Structure 1
């Protein structure tokens, strides 16, 4: 019988004492560095505790290295009033009065987003999984996910690495591979991984600040859409041709190690800052990367270096959250934006007593009232993110107009030298701290323009004038009322048609309106058909030098509601992952939409292999999946009202020449107020992509997430969701996924056309688990799209406890013959515009 089976039926309660340790005997320290399988720890008052200045420590495993002044422990941690705990690794000085109160520092934690209460359990199970559960309901909080990897024991190493060892002392899992906000000597930050700061010094949940290693160097970002760059250490040209594999906090330096592209050449390193074994480095909530060292003389931890600040040679005002959102930092002081030549007040402090918390708009900016947007001018003010350049805005006026036309733009910064007409325009989608500058000291000029919402004038004189004009018009209207009624009766149909056109005239933020004759001319009398779908056909055209895709709705009544929905929905929003609406035509019975041209057509032509195309490589598929997720995240979470697309499928995902994906066809979309938990609507969408809750007609934006999960599986498997050419048991992709998941045969689902997919099978399996999370029957268990984006970026992991009994509502819906609104699949899969 194996050791794992031998202990499988036993539960051991281990009580570890950290606060009251036995005195050292013959120079030996009392340590308990490891634990074996089938060991259970209960976090309760039986575990002796060590209070320190930020909270309480209850240790489980402990190691005191003979060659270092530091000790490491893994256990439970809390902050006052100590009602919630996290499982963490601690570093503390190893002195004669071992252990030392008030000197512990957390350097890694597992469950910062989901603290546990009293009597929570941590168990190294018989099958080798390290599992943290809430005692009250047994809910899984965190797991190492190593139940099938032959784990034999857990150990805290001399470097502070919490490791699960397998057979022959092979490392199966280690905390060093999953850093949170700190690094200890010997720990590396790998390419694609990140250090993420806590939300605040007293709030241990994840914040918006993070550092990551990319191909061209080390980058610091504040999270938004897209992320905003505030720190960058670029490699030299000859170094950037290699892959920077890691940043390592060594016994002496924080270094970038570069993998040599030529055999025989040694790796290179770039030293940032001197470090010792009694140090640790932490990314903090204000964006600073600080180096701390234990000082025996104090005794205390002291900050010995602010790495970013010293490396960039800047002051605190250059950091993104120093004055909160919209705050302007001037010599360390925070103020709200104002315009010197105006008495209007557009921003106010969030907290009058804490100016560093930032400012908020007095009137929130609304995409539905884009005609009332204007820009607040701030001279000699710069913005930290200089990465989002608007390429076609070289002068100040173009820069401002580009922002006013794009609702997702919240501000622009225009940096220029001596020539005001030749500068760089930077777009900002979420405004963090700004900084006052003195041009003569920084050798450049910069102005910032913040988008604000204005209200119509309420001048009493104008009100009086409107009253007089209203009375006059009313009198004239009374005199000619009979004539107007007679004309209306005789020409009712014509007035109805004109009325329909007026509906579109009064929409706010409308795109360009074209005449029918203009669109007939630009499409050469609609001669180049790209494809057709449920509500009309799409034709290729050209307006000036720009190629466009023109969607023509068939019939005056058939698509009127869908047409109006599409114009209203995307006419006033703009995002890099949404197909841009250029204009429209509403002329009598003719209704047309003009979109940007997407040369590679719709996604289905690239994943169904109907056009003998080469298989997409795994990197391209990942890029497409990320683009789809960011587009949906914008619709769900970043518009004034949530927008549920309701028809996510490969035919409505279009690709440009670089395989950048954009969402199209908003004809079935639904606007949802943010205070609504659910909306009731008629069934709409495409069979095969409909979530189970459509059977109740009470839906949320989570129906899009279910459809996203279906599309994700189609991209991975390279086949249709419903494919009648397959054997009967494999016709429905989701049913097949359920069977393979339950039988642990997910490898069978990978697209066999692509050798590249097979070679990345571990990453593909993780992507399938994300798809299955999105396909959960209970919509509340599905992730939000922002969570999906974080998983794709590597910032969080997929939920472990997934329900594989996916309920396929699509066959039931089809059988009911429900007369609700459906979107028929296009007959062609080469659409370069929405259906």
Structure 2
């Protein structure tokens, strides 16, 4: 659905007003006492509103409210997608007047057909209950034909009900569950929960949960049939074949839950309101690889990642490739799709050590075929176009074939995944059976000669002449286009090779150059993702030598290409303990990858921006990290053949090894300048919040890195971000807060409170704060060099003689820095990587 101009303007106004309205005012704005029932006739229009109460901010237009449930229109804050739904909600207010309100949809009438604004909901005695879109088309209506309707009621349990004039219930939402069950609601035989496509798309997805043959069953339900991935006996429950909160086996955690929801990932979770948010607890308790779509269709689930079948089986021929190399969890596609017309060129690829998770829930009574040999099974599958895979089970005198019309996620076989099964269904016992898994693949047939039939005597001579003219003209035109494309391609290729092949290969001391195929093997087809950011994704891998590496797969062109060349040129031939080593790179056509040493502790931001006291770094560790960063920058600025300015120093670009040694990484925005140059003019680059004020003039020196270093040091010592939107307005900017606390003589208040060791060494911490702010002077010439900072931290430099107590008055105004950062073009700023 598209957004018209009026709606776009409306949302822009909302966002602007929300930036200046405190949450406390939104709470006070809610003064309407909504009813829990209404009588017919009545109607409600889903109009745009400027009533900024907390309902509107959450995208809810209430009609009925009862207890913790609200019924009404629920609209996405982006676009015009609205549902008529019932939500469960909780509210909480903290000590700092922060307000949490998070309605969660537990039932919706039109999940597969959202309406837009101006939709109309009507309650009439004759027509019943009808939902119409803005154009008048009926979108949804319950089955109340021939029944009079007099009242719409929302119960305290969240059940939406219709009553007739005799006060008899004629319809209730509890009979038509969507993806959730609330406390008091029961799922009975004939009903099912159906997960949404994604957290952002409420339409029905493939995962379902129901009671089948007396068993609680979770399965994938698509056009090719149902494939089970979880089953549990309902025997022993007092209520018989039904499912509800507090009754699911021995999972007592569900007894205190507010609702249960089948997620778009296939997990069934019980949700409770804890610490101002909904927290879910998994009810199935099965392994990640047991979920049929965890790695998409045809994907192979490995420990910690996903791969494609050929890579998982070390096949010499590649038949499958990831749908998206940076998102291996989306599944794989066949390089040559299965074609019924070319069935003679199809074969079955055997997968060694591969298991098909839904297979454990097949029984002998549901076997597709019995007493067949492996060759019999393969022959049947090859002759059937709808067969995409076949699994052969062999046990003594019994053998079975299982034919699959759709191949969901596969998994590496692990016997520990299979425990004892219940006696009530004859499940396959993997300890007694031999299984063989085969996937149908399309081979590459030799090309057929399309001109063979042109000389056939069935063609009249005139038609053959016309065909020759047409064919000649076509081939001539194609030849011209081919020559033009070849010329352009060679020009592009020449330029590409000059920059990335000839140029990089001719620089002495360059790291190893890998091929794309080598890096696929190193990373197991990019299956273990470590993270992603603005320029691409990073995957973990292992070199043949056994060394662990991190491989960055760069996406895009233009800035990415410049970043790649800058990174290789900058650190390809330099080595320092406090700089992340570039092990190698790959430049094939338009594919660019960088191979770094693996840093097992990840980036610095993961260790300083959390509130977990158990993981909080101590004073000595933080002091060492700060010194390591300073040493790395000092080397770049003063000890290289050319002065290197990093230009993107931030916690995300500081990596830590197993001993918390800090190393500067990500040189994609760096700039090289000659030793005889004092400053350089360059385009604006960096990350807002860490950029020095002289960027406004575009004249940059290495002191820009010194400023960013000062910001990072303050963040390390205070355990918070430089600009923190979660804080109150007066505390949002760390520099502004620091200035105020210094004037009040309360710098100790800024020392990270999550670490007792930091508090115990507060005096030393505050001394280092002064050094940090020395690096933050408005005039770059007054900032120290990084070598001076290193000497001060090591105790060999004189800090007092180069510093005075008036430095705070000359700091850049935080408000000015924020204004500058917000006006910088995002296309030339670095994102987290």
Normalising by structure 2, we get a TM-score of 0.45
Indicate the structure with greater helix content. Answer: 2
Structure of greater relative contact order (alpha carbons < 8 Å, 6+ residues apart) = 1
Which of the pair has more CA radius of gyration?
2
